[in-house]
Amino acid sequence: MDNRIAKVALAMMEKNSGDSKRIEHSLKVFAYAQLLGVAESLNDKMLEIIGLSSLLHDIGIHVAEKKYGTSTSHYQEIEGPPIAREILKSLEYDPEIIERVCFIISRHHTFTAIDGIDFQLLVEADFLVNSTEDQMTDIQIISFAKNVFKSESGILYLKLLFPGLAL
């Protein structure tokens, strides 16, 4: 991982300036995603993709709120990729990596679109954070775990966060 990741984090923070909840959410998802990626033995390129995707996955929220009056997942998926693309191009990321990150961002709430371990781990990391931030019910957590979680590490982390649930 090179120092550009810190510049991506800074760009995300600048886009979310004054919104500590969104900044902290993205940083927590980044931490989980990186840990999951290492635990699942992803190569450096995949770790880079998951790191970038996790920092930028919600980057379209503020634009969606301004443009549509809501930040529902559909609008986040529309508005996020152009912002992410601009940030990543300015830091001279490889076009292949930019396209993959933008693809993941454009579908990160569309679980039927998951097509690779990088996308899978971003979804799992986002859920690990959302499950506690949004104080999800036991039923919501169990359902999501059974229907979406696939990685051994993600399931383990979920079991450690919620040891009383039958996951």
SS3 letters across the chain: CCCHHHHHHHHHHHHCCCCHHHHHHHHHHHHHHHHHHHHCCCCHHHHHHHHHHHHHCCCCHHHHHHHHCCCCHHHHHHHHHHHHHHHHHHCCCCHHHHHHHHHHHCCCCCHHHCCCHHHHHHHHHHHHHHHHHCCCCHHHHHHHHHHCCCCHHHHHHHHHHCCCCCC
Q: Does the pLDDT at position 11 exceed 90?
A: yes
pLDDT in tens, 107-142: 999 999 999 999 999 999 999 999 999 999 999 999
Return the percentage of the chain with pLDDT > 70, whole number.
99
Residues present in the chain in total:
167
Q: Does the pLDDT at position 161 exceed 90?
A: yes
What pLDDT score was predicted for residue 32? 98
**Band (2; pLDDT cuts 50, 70, 90):** confident
Q: Does domain 4-161 have CATH number 1.10.3210.10?
A: yes
What pLDDT score was predicted for residue 167? 84
0.75 exceeded by pTM:
yes
What pLDDT score was predicted for residue 1? 61
Return the percentage of the chain with pLDDT > 90, whole number.
96
pLDDT in tens, 49-72: 999 999 999 999 999 999 999 989
CA–CA distance, 42 with 88 (Å, rounded to integer): 21
What is the chain's mean pLDDT, rounded?
96
CA–CA distance, 63 with 4 (Å, rounded to integer): 24
